[in-house]
Chains A and B, each alone.
Chain A
Amino acid sequence: MTNPKAVPPDGPVDAAVGAGRLDPALGAISRSGIPVPPSVHVDALDPARIGRPGEYPFTRGIFPDGYQGRLWTIRQYSGFGTAEESNARYKFLLEQGQTGLSVALDLPTQCGLDPSHPMARPEIGKVGVSLSNLSEAEILFQGIDLSSISTSFTINGTAAIVYAMYLAVADKQGVPRRKLTGTIQNDILKEYVARGTWIFPVRPSMRLIADSILYANDETPRFNPISIAGAHVRDAGATAAEEMAYTLANGLAYVDELRARGGDVEKFAKRLSFFFYVHMDFFDEIAKFRAGRRLWARLMKERFGAQDPKAQHFRFGVVCGGSSLVAPQPYNNVVRVAVETMAAVLGGAQSIFTCALDEAFQIPTEFSAELALRTQQLIAYESGIARTVDPLGGSFFVEHHTDRMEEMIVQVMDEIDAYGGVIRAIEDGWLQRRLAERGLERKRATDSGQQVVVGVNHFRKVDEVVGVGEVFKLDPGVAQRALDKYQRVLDTRETPVVQATLARLSRAATNDRENLMPYLVDCCHAYATVGEMVACLKEQWGEFQEPVNL
Chain B
Amino acid sequence: MTAPHAAPRPLAGRRILIGKPGLDGHDIGAKIVALTLRDAGAEVIYTGLRRSPAQIAQVAVDEGVDAVGLSILSGSHNELVTDVLAELRTRGAGDVQIFLGGTIPAEDHPGLLAQGVSAVVTADLPLESVVARLAAALDTPR
Contacts and interface: CB of A to CB of B under 8 A. Distances in A.
Interface of A: 1, 3-8, 10-12, 107-108, 110-111, 113, 118-123, 126-127, 191, 194-198, 235-237, 326-328, 361-363, 435-437, 439-441, 443-445, 447-448, 450, 456, 466-467, 471, 474, 546, 548, 550
Interface stretch (B43-51, B61-69, B87-95): B43-51
A448 B3 CA distance: 11
Interface string B117-142: 00000101111110010000000000
Nearest to A113: B23
A359 to B, nearest CB: 10
A326 B124 contact: yes
Q: Which of B22, B79, B122, B124 has the most CB of A within 10 A?
A: B124
Contacts of A328: 124
A126 B76 contact: yes
A445 B129 contact: no
Given A126-B76, A361-B105, A439-B32, A119 B22 contact: yes
Contact of A119 (B50, B105, B107, B129): B50
A474 B74 CA distance: 13
Contacts of A121: 79
Contacts of A191: 25
A1 B106 CA distance: 12
Lowest 7 CB-CB distances: which A-B pairs, in order? A196-B25, A6-B106, A122-B79, A107-B23, A236-B28, A548-B48, A436-B31
Given A123-B23, A471-B107, A548-B46, A6 B31 contact: no
B9 interface: no
Given A447-B126, A447-B128, A5 B106 contact: yes
A427 to B, nearest CB: 15
B22 A436 contact: no
B125 A444 contact: no
A123 B2 contact: no
A108 B23 contact: yes
A435 B35 CA distance: 12
Given A10-B126, A445-B1, 9 more contacts: A1-B107, A4-B107, A10-B129, A108-B23, A111-B23, A123-B76, A439-B31, A440-B31, A441-B2
B125 A11 contact: yes
30 contacts: A3-B107, A4-B106, A6-B109, A7-B124, A7-B125, A10-B125, A107-B23, A110-B23, A119-B22, A119-B50, A119-B52, A120-B23, A121-B79, A123-B24, A194-B28, A196-B26, A197-B23, A435-B28, A437-B35, A439-B31, A440-B36, A441-B1, A445-B1, A447-B127, A456-B124, A467-B106, A471-B107, A548-B47, A550-B38, A550-B46
